[in-house]
Structure 1
Amino acid sequence: MDLCQRWIYTLDLTQIDPTSPFGFYKATSFATNINHGALTYLIVGPDRNLYYISRDDGAVYQIRYPASLAPTIGTQPADILVGQGWPATFSVDASGAQTLRYRWQRNNADISGAADVPSYTVTNPQVATDNGALFRCIVSNSFGSATTRNAVLSVTTKQPPIPTIKSPPPSTFYNYGDTLSFAGSAVDGVDAVTHQPQDGVLPPSALTWQILAEHHPLTSPNHHTHPFFPLTSGIAGGTVTLNFVELNPDVWYRIFLTAQDSFGLSQTTFRDIFPRHALLSVNTSPVALKVKIDGMPKNVPNKFWSVVNLPRTLGADTPQTVSGAIYDFVSWSDGGARTHTISTPTIATNYIAKFAKRPAVSTAPGTTGSISAKPNPCTPNSQGLGQTALTWTSAGTTKVEIHVDAPNGNMLTSSGPGTFSATTGLWVRNGQTFYLQNVSNGLPLTSAHTLATVT
């Protein structure tokens, strides 16, 4: 289940995905483009249907198989109250075999020119002609149809309030961890017919705030939101610490202010604020090695944008081997530990992990080793697999390893100098070679440091 991409997959624990290089189980798409996004906490209910919580609206939704391909109505169109001249949009969520068709009706008669879409908007409702009108939708496909409830449109001459966000001002930019102050107010509308003022300046009890952390532009198919500051009523303003952690730099906040008057009319406004960024560059010296950025291994040079003041973790594994040469970590250019957390600076900054090349060490003339296998050849079973006992001896070493099929093949075991033995599992094939490798002082797994072999 993916909160951001709005899909649910099933995992078949009896099948390995042949395309997976890691031997993962086979995953199959179950549901995609789920209308109520930010799905969390998927569970099977006592009725054996699936249920999930939408983090967008805090509601619980059901996924069910109706044993029919005909349409079923999920979310009914709701009753709407609007001020005269303000648009009113009715919508429906339905499921069923594709393609679904939508036929909107007013007072049980088809609306001429209504689009074949799951919503319908009355653009300029009037008290005299639209108050009390009923709207419904007939959803159909080749297997049947389903009709929604009649939703009532209530139109009043009263006009909705006008909310205003005073703080933060337009074109506000922020750094991670900043304290943001927000404040606003609202003035109620004037009656469209009598032109008399309604509630005037609304009190804080009429105001509701919400802040969402947004990820990617609204036009991006990857756009999604994260709850940040929950719906909070009864305040004219407040402060929040902008500490939502998202490593992708394509983030921003949207601040909503909703005002509702005593007639039940409401209007919402919003303000967007955007982060300041800095370009970070990570490299190694004297040669290109691997680094870790936020715990993930990366090649160098590596450049990326980050929100100013956002914590980022830099690290470097040690030792690292390139072309048979061994490099040990020495220091970071900023003086941090081998793995340390930085606060993204306000300007473009380079970070360099400094390494030192180990002096070349070859197997000393007095270094010797031998390895034998018994039985050899082994006695294979019906699958051609057998078992053998290895005995090896080394001198002039501090550590040796036994590798299978190549000097750098899978390691079977290791030991210090002296004579040792180990028995393999039932996996040996006649013709396989075992390599006794000298790895003293970090010697690389190359043929130059093979002490002996047995096939």
Structure 2
Amino acid sequence: MRRLLTLLVVTGSLAGAGSASAGVLPAGFTQTTQWNGLGNPTVIRFAADGRVLVASKSGIVSVFDSLDDPSPTVLTDLRGAVHDYWDRGLLGMALDPRFTAGRPYVYVLYAYDKPGWGDGCPAPPGPTADGCVISGRLSRIAADGNETVLIEDWCQQYPSHSVGSLEFGPDGQLYVSSGEGASFNWADYGQAGAPLNPCGDPPGTVGSTLSAITSQGGALRAQAFRRPAGQRVALGGSILRVNPDTGAASDGNPAGASADPNRRRIVAYGFRNPFRFTLRPGTGEIWSGDVGWNTWEEINRTQNLAQVRNYGWPCYEGAPKLGAYDTLDNRSCETLYAEGGVTAPYFAYDHAEPVVPGETCTTGSSSISGLHFYRGAAFGAAYDGALFFGDFSRNCIWVVHKGDDGLPDLRTRETFAAQADGPVWLTQGPNGALYYADLSGGRVQRIAATDSAPTAHITATPTAGAVPLTVTFDGRGSTDPDGRALAYAWDLDGDGAYDDAATARASFTYRSPGAVAVRLRVTTAAGVTASATRTITAGAPPTVTISAPSPATTWAVGDAVSFSGSARNGAGDALAAARLTWSLALRHCSRTDAGVCHTHALQDFVGVASGQFVAPDHEYPSHLQLSLTAIDAAGLSATRTVRLDPRTAELELRAEPAGLALTLGSETLPTPFSRTVLAQSQNAVGAASPQLLDGVAYTFASWAGGPASTGFVIAPASGSATYTARFVAASAPSASPDTPAPPSTPPVVRPAAPQLLGAWGFDRGANRGANRGANRVAGRHGKALRLDGKTRFVVRAPRLPTFTVEAWVYATRAGTVAQRGDAFRLPTPARTRWTHLALTYDGTTVRTYRDGTRVGARRAALAATTRPLRFGAFTGRLDDLRVYDGALTATQIAADRRAPVR
């Protein structure tokens, strides 16, 4: 059932320090909000003189005089140059190593809106169809805000995998990362665009059609370092080392003798989106987080700069070859497969798996988004030298402790901050605290150790009301772990000075409407401090109304969606359109759990009461959120949000003969299979040729209802569509008459392979099973059975002296997945995530597997009963059930886990 949801959020628009916030941390740590109301912060930098600089995605660099400063000044406003759209914006910032010693320079890396799209992308060309092409800029900002452009390059066709991070190395050189600017919806080799090949990638020029086999465009820009001499090297999907004064390649770069200036700059390549990276202290090593496509997130180590290392994208994702690009038979990938030489990830985690077994962090939607090596003893000796990394989509931060060799020991990885708030940047402050940028919440968050520091706490009564508003504050909930006495200092009027009261309790009367950040600072006799903030809203916030679209509105890709709304202040007066801002966001959710989503901020419409946008294309499941924010003359604000769900269609891919693999979007799977997609979406399909099936080689012949061997299909506006790839069997090889007969050898007797007795995907009905009371809902693949703990799926099977049962399970309440009388029982796994379970019996040993890994084994003599197999004595969902008449191996179970039942 489609959810109809309208949210109302009332806030004050201000920046404040030290308010309590969410986050599940280890004992001895606490998270507080350092500042809020920052738009979409992307980078935090601490200067040696106490100043703190915060970059926002829109293009503003703000400066706080200290951690106690509630109101920043603006160093530079680049909004007129920055393309703040989807995942584009001002994403990288670094301070000159001598920022406070004669070189007060700030370096910024941003998506440059040279064509003048105006923080949008009209259709046509459409953001995910042909793409609004932009470039990237690396610039140096002086103390007076003036900009000097050092590099303008990085052709980017699609609105993600944009520019990334900046870091200064111990050598004083500037390191720069960027994504490849390709499509995230299909295997992109440069086949789309208006004009075609808009980045002019070889072997063609702008406007030319590229071949899947010879193209070096699209995601293959990440392999541009390997282009033949004479072809211009692109910077996408790479890490550079450049001179901070000129932007030219640094002296000593490994490709410094090249005639191509971009090749000289590159020190590592083959990345999809190395959005964040850091340097390991004392070594100069580059540790980068590469945001994956559908399966793997990577942490990569570049341990020396004597050679330029290739990390494999798009030919590889994680350690394996990437099927959607392997299918293209592209020469850049095929030669790389033959040559080898790809550097494997230091660590990679599967989107469907937890980073730490048993943790509460969600799986499915994933995007690695921050790395930092911790230095010092403020967190305790165990954390000195540890690697912290975060995931924006999973809302979690992990730590990997240092091993005996000084490197992160992956066996020590732990969940550090569960339920973190959209971290996109991790760094360490001068006080030893860990800070991160909360992109979606507009906040800078602070995680600190509490072992020896006090904790400040404020209660306020009331926190909002009409003016004049008298509020009583109480700081007696503040504590010190050592029981030391605390001194109190209050900033009750929000001017940044702790000079309004010095007792544990205080009061203040607010006579003017507005939102005020009230702060309390507590101090021990030894001078150790802590602070907290509480926002007081004096006066009534605006009332916001969204007239259109209604929550019942649905959309297909390319639809024009109109919006309109209004707001009134607390006195009931209409607010002018200039005080309204609309924000459009896309929520992309996990295929395995539609409740696990991450946000792409698409576009803002500022100072208008009405307008129109074109519904975008994206992978399913996804939906739109449209928000209207009003800010009155007193600075009080309110936001109303409406969720807009899409219409969908079903695409089915078949092959003749069945079993051959086809590609749809990012997936390459054996046929037949189907996928739910957005209505009217553009989808890439492909057929690798030749392929082997049962020892016979088949070559692709044609599509029935599809394109050439690789191309696009447009999903219908509703219903379903089927595309069938026809293959032709190659002639079987024949023996030469002169070939001598092989010598006679006794036959090898092998045990019969387990036979599949039944498989149920629940997409079109159950095969030889009784579906007692369960109904169909979204599953791990296609549809699943929804179970309430009382209903069962019953399979009548013969006596089985050996067997295997497998299923995907999403349990919301514990119970039993499978049972056959008293012979065996398979319990549910950890709740609220899809888990692949398997139980095998070979006549002597029962083995259990979770997500392809054996987790238990015991000797047993199970009775070969004729009682039916019963599945589903739990609350949740059941999908892709299989029963075999023998015990599968771990390899066979892992293969089933990857292949949906069709």
Q: 1:7 to 1:266 in 2, by over 3 A?
A: closer
Cα distance, 1:57 vs structure 2: 2.7
Is this contact kept in 2: 1:282–1:351, CA < 8 A? Answer: yes
Paired AA for residue 224 in structure 1:
H
Is this contact kept in 1: 2:399–2:416, CA < 8 A? Answer: no
Deviation sequence 1:278-298 (CA, Å, 0-9, x none):
011111112321122223321
CA distance, structure 2, for counterparts of residue 319 and residue 77 of structure 1 = 72
Cα distance, 1:329 vs structure 2: 1.1
Cα distance, 1:340 vs structure 2: 1.6
| Alignment-derived partner of residue 756 in structure 2 | none
**Root mean square deviation, CA, Å:** 4.8
Cα distance, 1:26 vs structure 2: 5.0
Deviation sequence 1:69-99 (CA, Å, 0-9, x none):
7775699999955448xxx9x9xxxxx9xxx
| Alignment-derived partner of residue 31 in structure 1 | 416
Match of 2:598 among 213, 224, 243: 224
Cα distance, 1:137 vs structure 2: 10
Tell me, yes or no, if structure 1 residue 302 matches structure 2 residue 302. no
Deviation sequence 1:338-386 (CA, Å, 0-9, x none):
222222222301111111112222222235799xxxxxxxxxxxxxxxx
Is this contact kept in 2: 1:81–1:154, CA < 8 A? Answer: yes
Q: 1:367 to 1:14 in 2, by over 3 A?
A: farther
Cα distance, 1:4 vs structure 2: 0.9
Deviation sequence 1:156-190 (CA, Å, 0-9, x none):
4xx44332222223411111233332221223344
Match of 2:550 among 169, 172, 177: 169
| Alignment-derived partner of residue 607 in structure 2 | 234
CA distance, structure 1, for counterparts of residue 456 and residue 712 of structure 2 = 51
Instruction: Summarize the alignment of residues 6-17 of structure 1 with structure 2, pairs less than 5 Å apart.
Output: 6-10=395-399
| Alignment-derived partner of residue 381 in structure 2 | none
Q: 1:287 to 1:160 in 2, by over 3 A?
A: closer
Is this contact kept in 2: 1:290–1:299, CA < 8 A? Answer: yes
Is this contact kept in 1: 2:397–2:418, CA < 8 A? Answer: no
Instruction: Summarize the alignment of residues 31-180 of structure 1 with structure 2, pairs less than 5 Å apart.
Output: 31-37=416-422, 39-43=423-427, 50-64=434-448, 66=449, 68=451, 72=455, 81-83=464-466, 149=532, 151=534, 153-156=536-539, 159-180=540-561
| Alignment-derived partner of residue 357 in structure 1 | 729
| Alignment-derived partner of residue 720 in structure 2 | 348
CA distance, structure 1, for counterparts of residue 442 and residue 586 of structure 2 = 16
TM-score where L is the length of structure 1: 0.55
Unaligned runs of 5+ residues in structure 2 are 1-389, 474-478, 480-489, 491-508, 522-528, 743-902
Paired AA for residue 664 in structure 2:
I
Paired AA for residue 391 in structure 2:
D
For residue 361 of structure 1, give the secondary structure of its aligned residue in structure 2: coil
| Alignment-derived partner of residue 392 in structure 2 | 3
Question: 348-357 vs 254-263, which deviates more?
Answer: 254-263
Instruction: Summarize the alignment of residues 239-258 of structure 1 with structure 2, pairs less than 5 Å apart.
Output: 239-243=612-616, 245=618, 247-249=619-621, 251-258=622-629
CA distance, structure 2, for counterparts of residue 313 and residue 244 of structure 1 = 13
For residue 5 of structure 1, give the secondary structure of its aligned residue in structure 2: coil
CA distance, structure 2, for counterparts of residue 210 and residue 320 of structure 1 = 47
CA distance, structure 2, for counterparts of residue 9 and residue 51 of structure 1 = 14
Deviation sequence 1:224-257 (CA, Å, 0-9, x none):
3321224x54221233333253x232x2112111
Paired AA for residue 601 in structure 2:
P
Paired AA for residue 206 in structure 1:
R
CA distance, structure 2, for counterparts of residue 153 and residue 350 of structure 1 = 59
Taking every aligned residue pair, what percent have the same amino acid on both sides?
26
Is this contact kept in 2: 1:82–1:265, CA < 8 A? Answer: no
CA distance, structure 1, for counterparts of residue 515 and residue 397 of structure 2 = 41
Tell me, yes or no, if structure 1 residue 208 matches structure 2 residue 581. yes
CA distance, structure 2, for counterparts of residue 220 and residue 60 of structure 1 = 28
CA distance, structure 2, for counterparts of residue 55 and residue 150 of structure 1 = 20
CA distance, structure 1, for counterparts of residue 586 and residue 705 of structure 2 = 31
Paired AA for residue 326 in structure 1:
A
Paired AA for residue 558 in structure 2:
G
CA distance, structure 1, for counterparts of residue 686 and residue 555 of structure 2 = 27
| Alignment-derived partner of residue 395 in structure 1 | none
For residue 420 of structure 2, give the secondary structure of its aligned residue in structure 1: coil
Cα distance, 1:270 vs structure 2: 2.2
Cα distance, 1:334 vs structure 2: 2.1
CA distance, structure 2, for counterparts of residue 274 and residue 50 of structure 1 = 37
Match of 1:333 among 698, 704, 717: 704
Is this contact kept in 2: 1:207–1:236, CA < 8 A? Answer: yes
CA distance, structure 1, for counterparts of residue 462 and residue 615 of structure 2 = 37
Paired AA for residue 162 in structure 1:
T
Q: 1:367 to 1:295 in 2, by over 3 A?
A: farther
For residue 205 of structure 1, give the secondary structure of its aligned residue in structure 2: helix
TM-score where L is the length of structure 2: 0.29
CA distance, structure 2, for counterparts of residue 167 and residue 321 of structure 1 = 54
Query: Highest CA radius of gyration, 1 or 2?
Result: 1
Q: 1:220 to 1:341 in 2, by over 3 A?
A: closer
